[in-house]
């Protein structure tokens, strides 16, 4: 099976974005001794993202979970497909990936995504894409199937923009530009973000979950995506 066929197969499952990453520069244990990664992304509905200008909504909560379930289904299907070709693969589904006490994972989806050229990490510590801003949910697959990697993105393209930092209700975004050598903690305070997100969602819809989305809504790249898709 050629890599082009693999990409076409993944696209046929309903993803918006797909890219291949060379992970060999990452510590072997973090990548489970797999040399390559596949990053996938699904765009969020623009009208739903536009609707969270005053904080998380029920529509956003539902969309967030709908896309997460779809991503899990696609990742599992992709793993089965790669296995059928005689290669090993690990799907980083929501049940496979668990957070440590410091809210980190061994190999974040966004690390695979930047190395696969899908986008860069914004000042909000989320993946930002040229086409959809941060209005995407992402997942990843690790594999020993040899893939031709896409061009990685190693530096931020946010420039002097401070929209996400200015709009963060938790004041948890520090405003620093990302590059591949920067830690998440240099960009944000994840505990502040999680605490405020839980408060806002509980206040707005009575559900206690760490889902906010405000920094997604205010990103100029996201705003352009919303504007270009208005009815």
pLDDT digits (tens, 9 = 90+) for 115-168: 999 999 999 999 999 999 999 999 999 999 999 999 999 999 999 999 999 999
Distances, alpha carbon 171 to alpha carbons 67, 82, 101, 118, 164, in Å: 27, 43, 21, 27, 10
Q: What is the pLDDT of residue 209?
A: 92
Q: What is the pLDDT of residue 104?
A: 72
Average pLDDT over every residue of 87-106 = 81
Is 231 a residue whose pLDDT tops 70? Answer: no
Average pLDDT over every residue of 33-57 = 97
Q: Can you give the pTM of this predicted structure?
A: 0.94
The residue to which tokens 């974005």 are assigned: 17
Is 25 a residue whose pLDDT tops 50? Answer: yes
Query: Nearest CA to 195 among 172, 178, 219?
Result: 172
Is 101 a residue whose pLDDT tops 90? Answer: no
Contact by Cβ (8 Å): 215, 172: no
As separate numbers, helices (DSSP H) first and strands (DSSP E) second, the chain gives 8, 6
CA distance linking residue 137 with residue 117, whole number of Å? 15
CA distance linking residue 134 with residue 221, whole number of Å? 8
| Chain centroid to CA 212 | 15
Give me the residue spans of the domains in the chain: 3-228
- Percent of residues, the chain, with pLDDT higher than 90: 91
Average pLDDT over every residue of 180-203 = 94
Query: Nearest CA to 137 among 14, 16, 9, 13?
Result: 16
Question: Please, what is the end-to-end C-alpha distance for the chain in angstroms?
Answer: 40
Which residues lie below 8 Å from residue 75, measured CB to CB, with a gap of 6+?
Answer: 40, 91, 92, 93, 139, 140, 141
Higher pLDDT, 3 or 166: 166
Q: What is the pLDDT of residue 155?
A: 95
Please, which pLDDT band fits residue 13 given cuts at 50, 70 and 90? very high
Q: What is the pLDDT of residue 1?
A: 47
Helices in 26-138 by DSSP H: which ranges?
46-50, 58-84, 109-115
């Amino acid at each position: 099976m050629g890599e082009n066929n693999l990409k076409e197969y993944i696209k046929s499952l309903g993803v918006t974005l797909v890219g291949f990453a060379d992970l060999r520069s990452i510590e072997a244990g973090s990548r489970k001794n797999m040399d390559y990664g596949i990053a996938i992304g699904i765009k969020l509905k623009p009208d739903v993202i536009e609707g969270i200008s005053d904080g998380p909504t029920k529509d956003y909560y539902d969309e967030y979970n709908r896309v997460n379930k779809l991503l899990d289904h696609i990742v599992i299907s992709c793993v089965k497909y790669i296995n059928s070709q005689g290669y090993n693969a690990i799907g980083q589904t929501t049940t496979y990936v668990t957070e440590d006490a410091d809210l980190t994972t061994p190999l974040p989806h966004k690390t695979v995504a930047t190395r696969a050229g899908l986008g860069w990490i914004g000042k909000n510590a989320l993946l930002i894409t040229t086409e959809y801003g941060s209005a995407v949910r992402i997942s990843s697959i690790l594999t020993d199937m040899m893939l031709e990697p896409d061009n990685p993105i190693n530096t931020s393209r946010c420039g002097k923009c401070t929209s996400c930092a200015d709009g963060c209700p938790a004041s948890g975004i520090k405003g620093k530009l990302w590059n591949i050598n920067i830690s998440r903690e240099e960009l944000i305070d994840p505990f502040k973000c999680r605490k405020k997100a839980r408060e806002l969602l509980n206040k707005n819809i009575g559900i206690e979950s760490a889902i906010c989305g405000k920094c997604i809504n205010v990103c100029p790249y996201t705003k352009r995506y919303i504007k270009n898709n208005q009815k």
